[in-house]
Amino acid sequence: MADAFDVIVIGSGPAGYVAAIRCAQLGLKTACVEKWINNKSNKPALGGTCLNVGCIPSKALLESSEKFDESRHHMAEHGISIDGQVNIDVPAMIARKDKIVGELTGGIAQLFKANGIEWLQGTGKIFPDKHVQVTSADGKTVNSYAGENIIIATGSVPFELPATPLHEDVVVDSAGALDWTDIPKRLCVIGAGVIGLELGSVWRRLGSEVVVLEAQDTFLPMADQRIAKDSLRQFTAQGLDIRLSARVVSSKIENNTVTIEYQDKDGDQTLEVDRMIVAVGRRAFTDDLCNDDVEMEFDERGLVHVNDYCETSIPGIYAVGDVVRGPMLAHKGSEEGVMVAERIAGQHSHLNYEAIPSVIYTLPEIAWVGKTEEQLKSDGIKYNAGSFPFAASGRAKAMAQTAGMVRVLADAETDRVLGVHICGPSASELIGQAVIVMEYEGTSEDIARTVFSHPTLSEAVHEAALGADNRAIHIANRKRN
């Protein structure tokens, strides 16, 4: 008889490993199947995209490149001069990133041990009656396991553009762009989404000339458009050449030069660069996940079909994270993992999909939760809006980071906070306050009546909430009728 578990999780990204840990905490006998092999050490690793080639390594490089850029360009206003040139040792920067990745992925292995979770190394495939077959990386060992429950957490992989095939370290996807050990002089990024902007920012700060080609005519269409327009101005000022309505149709490599053909409003265009990052989105990864006789339902975009509780079409099989509908974000997957683990254990957990924050870790950072002004308008919902610019914040001035603003959108009748949008310093941290308010179904008055420390960036959130009622203190309010 096959080894049996209460729960078999397939995939150990932030959705899968969190689900596995919560299952084990609840006393369920849990195994997690993971096939990831680290491309440098050639050793198996836990943590999925997020820890290995996503959230964490990208933030490590954003941090290093920001320090480099700051040392080169933003020290004089503090009265600090640096004798001689500021240099960057790119291999050392990449080694620091790799060290962080190693520590964190190793940390997940420790957590698995501490929680008694069995790591089944290899590729998992689902067979009828909730059996999972695990094939080792060399293909030599195949074992079968029985799961009372299965949680699919197989994540996502980058979309490939057939017109621009990847090539060694010249045309790369997001993972490849985290491993360059020299600085390309001319760089093209295809796609002005979250990943394209973050990686474009890293290499721009390190000195590359960066052109970002984006097929859509609106910049960050998913974000509040006042915030999007404000941030586009900042990025342009930083030297990111962002070209909208620019659809890439082909690329070829000759003599170490990538020639890109794209179409914009003026017709056919050509661009020559030294390297290119293809960052045109990600697709759910379900390749060879289910044997032919497993009747799993998929959505039209290849996502595993689930209901609000992440139950698939097959009883006892759940799916969480990037492989199902909703934003492809680590924290969304983790909370789905917790919900599913608790429901398997007989609890009645649910997830509030209305209050999932999104962040772009550029400078300034962009973060939001809830509805944008554009969505409220198209839904016909009447709202009050309050904004506060960081240029009026004492703390932001002291930090010399005055770009951006906070916007609070509240229901005109009930005053419930419907959306908060931030572009500016520490937006990724500030948005947490808004998430808590929305989770508690709070109002802009609740924020307005809350005492915030002075001087802090959080006061901008306070002032924006006051502004929704035309009573901001540190900025002139709109004239009342």
Q: Which amino acids are annotated catalytic?
A: 454
Q: How far is the CB of 1 from ligand AMP (least distance, A)?
A: 45
Establish if 30 lies at the interface with ligand FAD (CB under 6 A). no
Establish if 33 lies at the interface with ligand FAD (CB under 6 A). yes
Establish if 285 lies at the interface with ligand FAD (CB under 6 A). yes
Per-residue binder mask for ligand FAD (CB under 6 A), 359-378, x = binder: --x-----------------
Q: Where are the alpha helices (DSSP H) in 219-294?
A: 225-237
Where are the strands (E) in 37-85, listed by range? none
Among ligand FAD, ligand AMP, none, what does residue 330 contact (CB within 5–8 Å per kind)? Answer: ligand FAD
Q: How far is the CB of 286 from ligand FAD (least distance, A)?
A: 8
**Rounded Cα distance, 21 and 31, in Å:** 10
Closer by beta carbon to ligand AMP, 200 or else 419: 200
**Rounded Cα distance, 68 and 86, in Å:** 8
Q: Identify the three-state secondary structure at position 207.
A: coil
Q: How far is the CB of 275 from ligand FAD (least distance, A)?
A: 16
Which range touches ligand FAD (CB under 6 A), out of 83-91, 149-157, 384-392, 418-426?
Answer: 149-157
The β-bridge relationship of strands 131-135 and 142-152 is antiparallel
Establish if 10 lies at the interface with ligand FAD (CB under 6 A). yes
**Rounded Cα distance, 276 and 260, in Å:** 9
**Rounded Cα distance, 319 and 243, in Å:** 37
Tokens of 376: 């409220």
Footprint of ligand FAD on 46-65 (CB under 6 A) = 48-50, 54-55, 58
Per-residue binder mask for ligand FAD (CB under 6 A), 205-244, x = binder: ----------------------------------------
**Rounded Cα distance, 262 and 251, in Å:** 9
Give the residue from 389, 55, 77 showing the smallest Cα distance to 234: 389
Q: Which residue is nearest to ligand AMP (CB)?
A: 193
Angle at CA of residue 155, ends 211 and 163, nearest 5°? 40
Residue 268's DSSP bridge partners are 263
**Among positions 164, 174, 312, 362, the unique one binding ligand FAD when judged by CB under 6 A:** 174
Closer by beta carbon to ligand AMP, 121 or else 428: 428
Which range touches ligand FAD (CB under 6 A), out of 64-72, 151-159, 258-266, 345-353?
Answer: 151-159
Are 33 and 134 contacting, i.e. CB atoms less than 8 angstroms apart? yes
Among ligand FAD, ligand AMP, none, what does residue 55 contact (CB within 5–8 Å per kind)? Answer: ligand FAD
Q: Is the dihedral of CA 452, 453, 458, 464 positive or negative?
A: positive
Residue with tokens 């000195």: 207
Are 180 and 90 contacting, i.e. CB atoms less than 8 angstroms apart? yes
Where are the strands (E) in 267-416, listed by range? 267-273, 275-278, 282-284, 317-319, 358-360, 365-370, 383-389, 405-411
Among ligand AMP, ligand FAD, none, what does residue 331 contact (CB within 5–8 Å per kind)? Answer: ligand FAD
Q: How far is the CB of 423 from ligand FAD (least distance, A)?
A: 16
Q: How far is the CB of 171 from ligand FAD (least distance, A)?
A: 16
Are 147 and 161 contacting, i.e. CB atoms less than 8 angstroms apart? no
**Rounded Cα distance, 407 and 372, in Å:** 10
Residues that bind ligand AMP (CB under 6 A): 161, 190-195, 213-216, 247-248, 279-281
Tokens of 183: 């600085």
Establish if 331 lies at the interface with ligand FAD (CB under 6 A). yes
**Rounded Cα distance, 363 and 356, in Å:** 21
**Among positions 64, 154, 164, 444, the unique one binding ligand FAD when judged by CB under 6 A:** 154
Q: How far is the CB of 370 from ligand FAD (least distance, A)?
A: 17
- Residues contributing to the site for ligand FAD (CB under 6 A): 10-16, 33-36, 48-50, 54-55, 58, 123-124, 153-156, 174, 195, 285, 289, 321-323, 328-331, 333, 361
